[in-house]
Amino acid sequence: MTYDEATGDILGDKAPAPPADAIPAEVVEAIRTLLRWAGDDPAREGLVDTPRRVARAWKEYCAGYDDDPARHLTRVFEEVGGYDEIVLLKDIPFQSHCEHHMAPIIGKASIAYLPRDHVVGISKLARVLHGFARRLQVQERLTAQVADCIWEGLNPIGVAVVIDATHACMAARGVRTPGVGMVTSRMMGVFRDDDRSRKEVLALMGY
């Protein structure tokens, strides 16, 4: 049996469920205010639950603030049979939001490194990307953060990160030019200093 510690009541075999909606009232009201300012009625049927849905969605979109991407690189493997060539995770899909308009950034990233004496599980490279992407971002900073994190966490010979993304803030407002992709890259170590190595990794990525 379990008990309510506040009242002493018997609750049965199941502990009480957590509150269904722990969203602060000021967050809900802020979204209602935005809906009114946009010209709609937050009290109408289709919008009554929208503020809470939006709040929950943004908590998910920005989950990266509760994540330390570097922690995903702490477990490495040294038994790689003498492998000493490029490790590449190609075309990783991601979604972020721009910090200027809070509009979606949707794209793909290719992440490569040249190991020194150990490697990391390939899923961890994607986790590093998502940890930084699930924050308000600009693409240039996202590219640099991913590369710097891998450089510092794995101490490799080289790191290369290329991100290709579309920005809703450009497609749906302002200049209103859809279908335009933005490509950013960061090369570190041998991929920055050696032209042959840089060309090799870019060719593997498809650039």
Q: Which residues are catalytic?
A: 98-101, 139, 167, 169
What is d(CA 127, CA 120) in angstroms, rounded to the nearest whole number?
Answer: 12
Cβ atoms 87, 73 nearer than 8 A: no
Alpha helices (runs of H) in 25-92, residue ranges in sequence order: 25-38, 50-61
CA distances from 186 to 39, 69, 135 (A): 43, 18, 19
3-state helix vs strand vs coil in the chain, percent to 5: 40, 25, 35
Q: Which tokens belong to 35?
A: 């809906």
CA dihedral of residues 65, 70, 74, 79 (deg, nearest 10): 130
What's the count of helices (H) and strands (E) in the chain, helices before strands? Answer: 7, 9
